[in-house]
Amino acid sequence: MDPFREERSSVLGLWMFSVLLQLLNDPLAGIPGPIYCRFSRLPYVYWVCTGRLVFRIKELHDQYGEVFRIAPDEVQFINPEAWKDIFGHKTQGAKEFPKDLRFYPMPPGGVRDLLTADQANHPRMRKMLSPAFAEKTLREQEAIITSYVDFMVGKLRGMVTKQEDGAVYARADMVKWYNYLIFDIIGDLTFGKPFFCLASSDYHPWVSTIFSSTKGAIIANNGDYLPAVKYLAMLLLVVAKPRLVIDRISRLKYSVNKTSERLASQTDRPDFMSYIMKGAETGQPLSKEELDANADLLVFAGSETTSTFLSGCTYFVLSNPRVYRRLVAEVRGSFNSEEEMTFASIQRLPYLSAVMQEAFRMYPPIPVGPPRKVPEGGAVVRGISLPENTAVAITQYAAGHSETNFTDPYTYTPERWLPDADERFASDRRRAVQPFAVGPRNCIGQNLATAEIRLTMIKMLWHFEAELAPECENWHKQSIFGLWEKPPLMIKLRPRER
């Protein structure tokens, strides 16, 4: 005889009763989606932990359309106009959609930064940080950024040697080299000194902690969706992966120390801190703890995403010989010498712009859809009335690969972005691609990122004949743990003959 039979029956009955109540009182009942996603976040968390969330969202959009429900309290969109509804500037009387902080790992020091600040503090932080990313500032930083790109090119040229097949070229993992480059640039602009990754041809230990701690933090953060098991999940992570916790603590300590060193130094060089400190003289300054948190954010957000995009863009260009030849012709036909390659002149290459836009569509640096929450009182998104606290999101990968938004969405075709694009692309909904988001909380560093990308791509195409190594044929087929989990991108580089 089972002594717990009655107890189990009671628990099962209560669960079934709660499910029935949820069905009867479900304000999102009219939104399509998998039946199992109506009752639990478990499927969502499982997809995150297996690196499949983004691809599953794409599959579910294919099945259910432009709008579907992925969790009891979350709705996904891919219609381009949803960007404005959710993220855009609000008219008088309309409320901003706050960020769903369950999605974001708490910054290492426990102090909110620009990315995760609430609506009361975000405008103040943005005002203090904005001068560091103004067009005028970027022009003043041009020489610094260019020097690092030139240094990387020189290091790669120095790797050219006679290979086993008898040919003369360099074999380089461009995932690493783009990381070395961008982390050195951002380290210099944030702390006044680079990480010396390029000089050593290796990662600085602190940079390594960023890579090692991010995946674990993203997986562990899913505990916020399942409060009943949150602390158990965190405990299991600490026991199973203690290195992740140690690396996260080391990352914060390094940021704090480097920020303190930079603040103590007397220099007028045009880095981020000099502009932030100047802004503090006329506005409400950031606290030391907020400076530490934002310095850590600037290094991570300003480096990983840009280097990731450079890797993805390089891969797609080299995977398409026609695109590569046309881009090389544009770059080498637009300049007579490297001295002509300025931040102003590199903006005037239309095919490069199209190449970048198409790479943003195919391989968005942030492929996930950071959710917002419907504000108090509810709101309407694409004609659908949603109750307050409903999470809403646009997953970049799904929007960019939707047949509703783009013709031949899995084909890399930069020409779709040109003014004289073929008529078959006339129905493309280009505004679905928003790699830097929109509205008052869009990416503050987008001008810097695009300048770094343009200059790096141009310099590489100017100096080298490039070829994708055979083993990287399907490089883009990766898992996603918040960010792309990138394998090596091996490229053959031959110095250009002139």
> Environment class of residue 425 by beta-carbon count within 10 Å: exposed (0-12), middle (13-18) or buried (19+)?
middle
Tell me the sheet residues that pair with 372.
99, 392
Q: Which two structure tokens, joined as six digits, stand for 234?
A: 């965190």
Q: How far apart are CA 78 and CA 404, in angstroms?
A: 9
Place of tokens 């020489």: 143
Q: Under a CB-based contact definition with an 8 Å cutoff, are residues 334 and 447 in contact?
A: no
- C-alpha dist (Å) from residue 27 to 38, 70, 179, 376: 11, 14, 46, 15
Q: How far apart are CA 455 and CA 341, in angstroms?
A: 8
CA contacts within 13 A on the Cβ side of 142:
16
- Nearest 5°: phi and psi at 137? -65, -40
Compute how many other C-beta atoms are within 10 angstroms of the C-beta atom of residue 82.
23
Place of tokens 């993203």: 218
| 313 is known to lie in a ligand binding site | no
3-state helix, strand and coil shares in percent for the chain, rounded to the nearest 5: 55, 10, 35
Q: Under a CB-based contact definition with an 8 Å cutoff, are residues 295 and 452 in contact?
A: no
Which among 211, 187, 181, 176 is positioned nearest to 199, based on CA atoms?
181
Orientation of helix 205-221 relative to helix 288-301, angle to 10°: 90
Q: Residue 446: which H helix or E strand, with range?
A: helix 446-463
Place of tokens 């198409």: 358
Q: Under a CB-based contact definition with an 8 Å cutoff, are residues 87 and 97 in contact?
A: yes
DSSP letter, residue 168: E
CA 242 to chain centre: 26
Q: How far apart are CA 45 and CA 71, in angstroms?
A: 10
Q: Which two structure tokens, joined as six digits, stand for 268?
A: 């007028």
Q: How far apart are CA 411 and CA 456, in angstroms?
A: 24
Q: What SS3 string covers 24-69?
A: HCCCCCCCCCCHHHHCCCHHHHHHHHCCCHHHHHHHHHHHHCCEEE
Residue ranges of the annotated binding site for heme are 443
Residue ranges of the annotated binding site are 443
